[in-house]
Amino acid sequence: MDSEKTNSRRQFLAKGAAFTGLALPFGAAKAQFGAEMEGLHPRRYDVVNATDERGFSLAYGSRAKFETPQRIASTTANGAVLGAYTPLQDLDGIITPSSLHFIALHYADAPPIIDPREHRLLIHGLVDRPLEFTVDEVKKFPSVNRVHFLECAGNSAPLFHEDARTAQTIHGWTSCSMWSGVLLSTLLQQAGVQKKARWILAEGADGAKHTFSIPLEKAMDDCIVAYGQNGEAVRPEQGYPLRLIVPGFIGVANVKYLRRLKLVDEPHMTRWETTGYVTARPNLRGKALWFDHEWGPKSVITRPSGGQRLEAPGYHQITGLAWSGAGSVRRVEISTNGGRTWKDAEVEGPAYRKAHTRFRMDWRWKGGGAELQSRCTDDLGNVQPTQAELAQLIGAPGPEWFKKTGIIIHDNHIQPWRVDRDGTVHNALL
Amino acid sequence: MDSEKTNSRRQFLAKGAAFTGLALPFGAAKAQFGAEMEGLHPRRYDVVNATDERGFSLAYGSRAKFETPQRIASTTANGAVLGAYTPLQDLDGIITPSSLHFIALHYADAPPIIDPREHRLLIHGLVDRPLEFTVDEVKKFPSVNRVHFLECAGNSAPLFHEDARTAQTIHGWTSCSMWSGVLLSTLLQQAGVQKKARWILAEGADGAKHTFSIPLEKAMDDCIVAYGQNGEAVRPEQGYPLRLIVPGFIGVANVKYLRRLKLVDEPHMTRWETTGYVTARPNLRGKALWFDHEWGPKSVITRPSGGQRLEAPGYHQITGLAWSGAGSVRRVEISTNGGRTWKDAEVEGPAYRKAHTRFRMDWRWKGGGAELQSRCTDDLGNVQPTQAELAQLIGAPGPEWFKKTGIIIHDNHIQPWRVDRDGTVHNALL
């Protein structure tokens, strides 16, 4: 080691106003400092790919081995994996860890593996200049980073499934991420949208070529061609390398593995938008709504929630998530007596638009029975309905109607959790 | 399958105002819908722990195999691993993926493994009621979720290291997370802080019992006893199961594996606060400042940055991160001509207090030489200094002084990146 380098390392300085005005003689500090810090000064930069025998990786870390929150799979009658639910009751804050983001699988038991170097995004149809982009080319455009929830249209529908008793298995088909990418409007402006265009057909590169029609107005508003999720690349289950994010719309509209955007003059009437994801309403006298894709205001208390148990009377924090497909969360109210009286919860801001928003309220459980409900109001004034209010709104015969219903499309009614005297928490609608 | 269940599954309904008023006959929709959706209705909820042959895990996902951003280790003269740097230039948004959060290792080459069921947090000293908490007990208190950066005091000090040429190796000892936990003030109120108390000694459960003194005023302001990071548990490298978050203070004050908080009347004068992490200032005539731990306003352009290359003249987005230990980012300015003229960058809001904040600006590179700089102003009006301004501020002889300096404590001066005619980007201070 040459002595000049050694000396220069033992010199040091820094800046800024002192937090506390204590000072010690410089010489004394220098002597100690040199000895302590000499060992801390980096000499080399190394790529360390190894994982040690205890599972520690310097290059890319993993969670503690004691941690067990995980997605739970749902399977269909014929045994196919339909998707997996986020453990909402185990999470804090508003960002869903990417490893626990819910999954919906329409066509296969596992997501496709796509080499990003081979992937292309085509924009064509009613445009002045058809364009094809590599993923790297997409990344060169002006970028945005926005927090948005995704939610499968069928979320909360398992409300009456005999095995669905927790926040996860009833409501876990929603998650929230910071999405990074390019505004779809930016790419469309490059291509030059022709006057006749009214809709966009979005197509994925999965084996079945999933397709969905997006109104042009929505595409030009806030849709994102996303390559990033929570700081790093979009996860394979979420559409790697490119996913169309359609903020506030049901999950199926947020086309994964996005490879084609065709500008068209009318909706394409794809398989899913004409069948599974339509809105039937008794009060429409036998009609079903197409393209009714925006989520209403919604919330769910995640702690305490079904399957949990309050250990003892006394202080408990009630917390959960609220969101709206139309805007941001303005207010969340909580009732602890089955909806008779309501109190404002604290909404942890800033509340992002079309994003999960954390709420909480202090509660003193007296030890008797209780019923917890949360009610979301968004910044447009839309209020989350109770099941009875929703029944009335759509012209269903009454709340009992819901019990007969197998699948509900974008159900947003209030979830009541019943607390029994022994502290156990249950779905009060079962 | 009994027919009543089958029938009930084929009924469906939903709610809400239609986005588009199209409608189709209910009967037709129902027939199609039934056939399509029958297969999609969950029948079972399964815990699926297996990872398939392609690496896909339903329970807990991982990133695409094509993705390579990783932490880079720094090692000391004697070969010990000092820590690892976040690949800032590869990330989007403001949340650092937990797997890529920077690591500082003072005492061992790997973080300790702590069973959270065995872990305890003791609060004692000048309190009315000494208290000991399990991790589960800590989680029962009112919680907060806040986005804060962490930054090692030695970050940006490798500015003149011959191998440190990238945003990662120069500045990658800073990361940003949503931290979840209990305000330290909440726990202290439980214990009852006595009037004589002025400082808190925080101690970790790592092998060397890392200790650091925190002013009581700061502890009562915004410190968090965190159990959560980005939605799930704090990572082992970051202090699992409990970490003290001291927002805006240098990383070493944010004690990992937090096991003890002792209320005392004066700082404990621990090893690190009296030696390595003191601020020496030439203009103090041989004195060094103790407890000068708050970060000033700071920013770094992460794209384009050292080691990258602009492929061709034309449009490029300049983007990066800004933060301040004193508050939120109010303004970021960018210069493309070495600081002669400045333009306001777009600051992506909402800007959290004491958190990374994303900025960006459109730029048209003409193909000649250029020098990119960013300058942060926080909401208290503090402005990030150039190297020359910082030299003047601390009474150093001049900018060349920095070149002789081995270690700088909480250095926040402006990073200039030089763009050469061939598009390659370099640290302009080397």
Closest residue in B to A31 (Cα) is B275
pLDDT in the model for residue B36: 47
Report chain A's mean pLDDT, rounded to a whole number: 86
- Tell me the shortest Cα–Cα distance from A177 to chain B, in angstroms: 10
Strands (E), A60-198: 72-75, 81-85, 103-104, 120-125, 131-134, 144-151, 174-183
Asked if the Cβ–Cβ distance from B103 to A36 is below 8 Å, we say no
pLDDT tens digits, B364-388 = 999 999 999 999 999 999 999 998 8
The whole-angstrom separation of Cα B278 and Cα B283 is 15
Quick one: average pLDDT of B96-125?
Answer: 93
pLDDT in the model for residue B140: 96
- pLDDT exceeds 70 at position A87: yes
Asked if the Cβ–Cβ distance from A73 to B32 is below 8 Å, we say no
Quick one: average pLDDT of A362-373?
Answer: 97
Burial string for B256-285 (b: 16+ CB within 10 Å, else e) reads bbbbbbbbbeebbebbbbbbbbbbbbeeee
pLDDT tens digits, A211-269 = 999 999 999 999 999 999 999 999 999 999 999 999 999 999 999 999 999 999 988 87
Alpha-helix residue ranges (DSSP H) falling in B94-152: 135-139
Domains and CATH numbers, chain A: 72-286 (3.90.420.10), 298-427 (2.60.40.650)
pLDDT tens digits, A296-333 = 999 999 999 999 999 999 999 999 999 999 999 999 99
Report residue A399 as tokens.
Answer: 């709340």
Please, what is the end-to-end C-alpha distance for chain B in angstroms?
74
At residue A107 the predicted structure's pLDDT band, cuts being 50, 70 and 90, is: confident
Residues in chain B: 430
At residue A29 the predicted structure's pLDDT band, cuts being 50, 70 and 90, is: very low
pLDDT in the model for residue B41: 59
Residue A81 class from Cβ within 10 Å (0-12 exposed, 13-18 middle, 19+ buried)? middle
Report chain B's mean pLDDT, rounded to a whole number: 86
- pLDDT exceeds 50 at position A27: no
pLDDT tens digits, A126-171 = 999 999 999 999 999 999 999 999 999 889 876 656 677 899 999 9
Percent of chain B with pLDDT over 90: 66
Higher pLDDT, A157 or A175: A175
- pLDDT exceeds 50 at position A25: no
pLDDT in the model for residue B394: 76
pLDDT in the model for residue B15: 26
Quick one: average pLDDT of B411-428?
Answer: 96
Quick one: average pLDDT of A68-72?
Answer: 95
* A59, B70 Cβ separation under 8 angstroms: yes
pLDDT tens digits, B146-183 = 999 999 988 987 665 667 789 999 999 999 999 999 99
Under the phi-then-psi rule, with left for phi > 0, alpha for psi from -120 to 50, and beta for the rest, what region is B78?
alpha
Angle in degrees, CA A192, A193, A194, rounded to 5:
115
Residues 6+ apart with CB under 8 A from A239: A204, A226, A254, A255, A256, A257, A258
Among the partner-chain residues B70, B93, B233, the one whose CB lies closest to the CB of A178 is B93
Residue type (1 letter), A414: I
Percent of chain A with pLDDT over 70: 84
Report residue B334 as tokens.
Answer: 């960018």
Asked if the Cβ–Cβ distance from B23 to A113 is below 8 Å, we say no
Distance of CA A94 to the CA centre of its chain: 8
pLDDT in the model for residue A397: 73
Check: complex ipTM more than 0.85? yes
pLDDT in the model for residue A360: 97
Quick one: average pLDDT of B395-399?
Answer: 72
pLDDT in the model for residue A40: 54
Higher pLDDT, B292 or B141: B141
- pLDDT exceeds 70 at position B24: no
pLDDT in the model for residue B323: 98
Higher pLDDT, B15 or A286: A286
The whole-angstrom separation of Cα B11 and Cα A280 is 9
Higher pLDDT, A390 or A128: A128
Among the partner-chain residues A13, A73, A161, the one whose CB lies closest to the CB of B394 is A13
Lowest-confidence segment of A183-192, A286-295, B82-91 by average pLDDT: A286-295
Q: Which residues of B touch A67 (CB under 8 A)?
A: 232-233
Q: Which residues of A touch B160 (CB under 8 A)?
A: none
